[in-house]
Amino acid sequence: MTGASSGIGAACALRLAKAGHRVVGVSRSGVAPEGVAGRVLDIREPEALERGLREIVGDLGGLDALVNSAGVAVGGPLEDTPIDLVRAQLETNLFGATCLIRAAVPYLRDGGGGRLVHVASLAVDVPLPFQALYCAAHAGLNGLCEALRYELGPVGVTVTVVSPGSVRTGLTANRRMAAAGSAYAGAAGKAMAANDRDEEAGIGAERIAAAVEKALGARVPPERVAVAHWHEKASGPLRRVLPERLFRRIIGSHYGI
């Protein structure tokens, strides 16, 4: 379980451990919920990741499932975003996830098949204003998972993407913001304020954990699960039937831009 130090990752690790699964929670800090074994692991560092995963699998005696919830959030206008924040977003949420899959698949495959579960975002269906990098990383992750099903299905490894909408976690407070220049300051401020209100009124991380547990226990795991308020779930289907410009105006209006 990656990203186990807080938020959705911590909720998943705790729920799975209480359900009787042997869970190792990894994060850059090594912190994990009480009752869950914690390990220091940075998914952005391929060599350390492979070494750490090899040690974990050795301790467990195998690997049946991998749940990835590691991620960061960067907000603000792309034009004003420093390149270090660009790298931080893409390296953690997309590059890190890719490295994680590469390292884990041999253990899942050699064990007779296993399950990959990635916690992504509904922002894949409905991109968020002034969070272009966050949306790009999750869109990339979603596309990665869709293509991997062709590769991994025949060797017995399933891939599930759990896509939350707005969730009440520390991600809101910990989001790294690029200072908006004068061209975007007003719109960015309105959009991010609306986004923060949505997250503060979002569902609890326990809902995501329940969906992950259900996917891991399903005889035929779902390929994708949306976990969100009803109106957020409806946004994706609505986009498919409305003209694109009209849909974008509706979303822009919600964010005050």
Catalytically active residues, by annotation: 134
**Mean pLDDT calculated for residue range 168-190:** 93
**Mean pLDDT calculated for residue range 5-21:** 96
pLDDT for 113: 84
pLDDT for 111: 81
**Mean pLDDT calculated for residue range 49-57:** 95
**Mean pLDDT calculated for residue range 59-74:** 94
Q: Is 251 exposed, middle or buried (0-12, 13-18, 19+ CB in 10 A)?
A: middle
Give percent above pLDDT 90 in the chain: 95
Distance between CA 158 and CA 193 in Å, rounded? Answer: 38
Runs of H (alpha helix) within 39-184: 46-60, 83-90, 96-110, 132-152, 171-174
Strands 167-168 and 65-68: unpaired
Compute the Cα dihedral for 170, 256, 202, 139 and give only its sign. negative
Q: Is the pLDDT of residue 87 over 90?
A: yes
Going from N- to C-terminal start, the domains of the chain cover 62-254
Q: Yes or no: is domain 62-254 CATH 3.40.50.720?
A: yes
| Band of residue 123 on the pLDDT scale cut at 50, 70, 90 | very high
| Band of residue 250 on the pLDDT scale cut at 50, 70, 90 | very high
Q: Is the pLDDT of residue 207 over 90?
A: yes
Give percent above pLDDT 70 in the chain: 100
In terms of pTM, does the model score above 0.75? Answer: yes
**Mean pLDDT calculated for residue range 45-64:** 94
| Band of residue 180 on the pLDDT scale cut at 50, 70, 90 | confident
Which region among 83-87, 111-115, 191-195 has the lowest average model confidence (pLDDT)? 111-115
pLDDT for 112: 82
pLDDT for 182: 87
Q: Do residues 137 and 75 make contact, with C-beta atoms less than 8 angstroms apart?
A: no
**Mean pLDDT calculated for residue range 54-81:** 95
Distance between CA 146 and CA 141 in Å, rounded? Answer: 9
pLDDT tens digits, one per residue of 25-37 = 999 999 999 999 9
